[in-house]
Amino acid sequence: MLLRVTNTPRDYAWGSRTAIARLTGRTPSGRPEAELWLGAHPLCPSRVVDPDRAGGHATLDAWIAADPARALGADRASDELPFLLKVVAAEAPLSIQVHPDAVRARQGYDDENRRGVLLTSPARVYRDARHKPELALALDGPFDALVGFRPLGATRRLVAELAGTAQEHGLAGADRLARLLRTLDDAGSGRTSAGGDGDPEPVLRRLVGRLLAGDEDAGHLLTVVTEAARKAPRGHGLDAELDTLVDLAAERPGDAGIVVALLLNRVTLRPGEAVYLPPGTVHAYLRGVAVEVMAASDNVVRAGLTDKHVDVRELRRLATYRTTGDARLPPVRTVDGAELFDPGVPDFSLATVTVPDAGRAGVGLAGPAIALALEGEVRVAGQHDAAVLRAGESVFVTPGERALAVTGRGRLAVAGSVR
């Protein structure tokens, strides 16, 4: 079965006022529209366009609960849809955040239940017991993000630029940048013979604790970092990192999360490029429009760049302090107009399918999926059912369809058990 589903965009303050409306062919509401959820998460389940086709059920989660064998397959691991597909449209930075692994998600969820923290409470951190790996694919323009800790040598270069600028301009607090630079130099002296950073975890763990401490010293460091970033010369290969600090300071003046950006990889995805964030990856989306697919969880631990509840202690506990280089996830396969992005987790994979005029492409399925048309008009056909989708329209695909053949002209994202 191909079951048409839709939803109402979530109006978080950082959202775009036009991007999701443009994708779905609607007149903009005038409010920020940040995320369009397509899935069965109980906080915002998709609506079934034709409930008669789903036994009278109006939402996807209700239909799955009533008929899990048909919706998820006879060999399903559970009676819940394991993934959630979103369109994310950011006009302002999201919070510095991290997501839990499966063990900590269960522990945190049970602990908050025992303490009587309501699921609807703004102070609630664990809203479900699931882990949350996620993948983001840039759509119609650049998608900017901070993803994971950059190698210490690259961070040292950025801090050295800031420290030199602070000293040149006589900025108050220049000594704090010099002290941070010495810390990085001391860490660098333990590099491996291959030229790597040795073990950066102890250094990064201490730095994150210091930068998010919220004490007077951290406040002075924040001030000098933002002033030096404004005054630092451009053209030395650090423009994106410096501009990010300036932009964050303008968006969130005085926020401790700004200085954490000193330690994180600045990534710009071109349309069609993806990034994968395993649990424990410290990150923040900055600006742009993306398709995001994740385990069906709403567990977010924040520690800056937000007015929502922050839990610095929990973020420090969850964070993975390994350094990474390029965080992009290349497609594992490109065949007949379809690119498959597979992060190697059981919850989901993501395929993009592009068909030219009167073209044809397709993907295989090993379980349930959701297909979202991104542009043009395409006909999507499984083994038993078919649907015509225009940009912004979506269908839930049951496992019995086995594969999707896509014809017409346009582009489609397919998330779930795709192969």
pLDDT of residue 198: 61
Q: What gap in Å lies between CA 34 and CA 92, rounded to an integer? A: 10
Q: What CATH number does residue 57 fall under?
A: 2.60.120.10
Domain edge (last residue) among 205, 231, 264: 264
pLDDT of residue 195: 43
At a CB cut-off of 8 Å and minimum separation 6, what does 120 contact?
none
pLDDT of residue 192: 41
Residues 301 and 206 in one domain: no
CB 376 within 8 A of CB 392: no
pLDDT of residue 341: 97
Domains in the chain, number: 3
Report the percent of the chain where pLDDT is more than 90: 89
Query: Is residue 54 situated within a structural domain?
Result: yes
3-state helix, strand, coil in the chain (%, to 5): 30, 30, 40
**Predicted confidence band of residue 197 (pLDDT cuts 50, 70, 90):** low
Residues 86 and 20 in one domain: yes
Residue 160: in which H helix or E strand, if any? helix 152-168
Please give the average per-residue pLDDT across 205-225, as a whole number. Answer: 91
DSSP tally for the chain: helices H, then strands E: 11, 17
Residues 15 and 142 in one domain: yes
Over residues 143-175, the pLDDT tens digits come to: 999 999 999 999 999 999 999 999 999 999 999
Residues 275 and 373 in one domain: no
Report the percent of the chain where pLDDT is more than 70: 97
**Predicted confidence band of residue 217 (pLDDT cuts 50, 70, 90):** confident
Amino acid at 32: P
Query: Is residue 373 situated within a structural domain?
Result: yes
Residues 159 and 213 in one domain: yes
pLDDT of residue 189: 60
Residues 193 and 239 in one domain: yes
CA atoms within 13 A on the CB side of 67: 13
Residues 161 and 182 in one domain: yes
Answer whether residue 18 shows pLDDT above 70.
Answer: yes
CB 396 within 8 A of CB 368: yes
Please give the average per-residue pLDDT across 283-296, as a whole number. Answer: 98
Residues 236 and 287 in one domain: no
Answer whether residue 199 shows pLDDT above 90.
Answer: no
Residues 187 and 143 in one domain: no
pLDDT of residue 215: 85
Answer whether residue 191 shows pLDDT above 80.
Answer: no
**Taking all residues of the chain, what is their mean pLDDT, rounded to a whole number?**
94
User: Which is the catalytic residue, given 150, 176, 287, 302?
Assistant: 302
pLDDT of residue 190: 53
Identify the CA nearest to 157 among candidates 73, 72, 223, 237.
237
335 phi and psi, to 5 degrees? -140, 125
Query: Is residue 103 situated within a structural domain?
Result: yes
Q: What gap in Å lies between CA 251 and CA 371, rounded to an integer? A: 35
DSSP string computed for 261-322: GGGEEEEEEPTT-EEEE-TT--EEEEEEEEEEEEES----EE-SS-SS---HHHHHHH----
pLDDT of residue 213: 86
Over residues 356-383, the pLDDT tens digits come to: 888 899 999 999 999 999 999 999 999 9
Q: What gap in Å lies between CA 375 and CA 385, rounded to an integer? A: 21
Query: Is residue 160 situated within a structural domain?
Result: yes
Query: Is residue 77 situated within a structural domain?
Result: yes
Query: Is residue 215 situated within a structural domain?
Result: yes
* Domain carrying residue 172: 148-264
**Residue 302 is among the residues annotated as catalytic for this protein:** yes
Query: Is residue 349 situated within a structural domain?
Result: yes
Domain edge (last residue) among 248, 264, 280: 264
pTM of the full structure? 0.94
Residues 84 and 127 in one domain: yes
Pairing of strands 47-48, 134-138: unpaired
Answer whether residue 276 shows pLDDT above 80.
Answer: yes
Choice among 47-51, 197-201, 323-327 with the minimum mean pLDDT:
197-201
Answer whether residue 194 shows pLDDT above 80.
Answer: no
Domain edge (last residue) among 210, 229, 264: 264
Exposure string (b/e) for 23-61, b if CB count within 10 Å is 16 or more?
bbeeeeeeebbbbbbbbbbeebbbebeeeeebeebebbb
Answer whether residue 53 shows pLDDT above 50.
Answer: yes
The alpha carbon dihedral of 163, 168, 170, 171 has a sign of: negative
Residues 304 and 413 in one domain: no
pLDDT of residue 357: 82
Q: What gap in Å lies between CA 219 and CA 382, rounded to an integer? A: 58
Query: Is residue 325 situated within a structural domain?
Result: no
Please give the average per-residue pLDDT across 270-281, as a whole number. Answer: 97
Residues 238 and 288 in one domain: no
pLDDT of residue 303: 93
Over residues 311-334, the pLDDT tens digits come to: 999 999 999 999 988 889 999 988
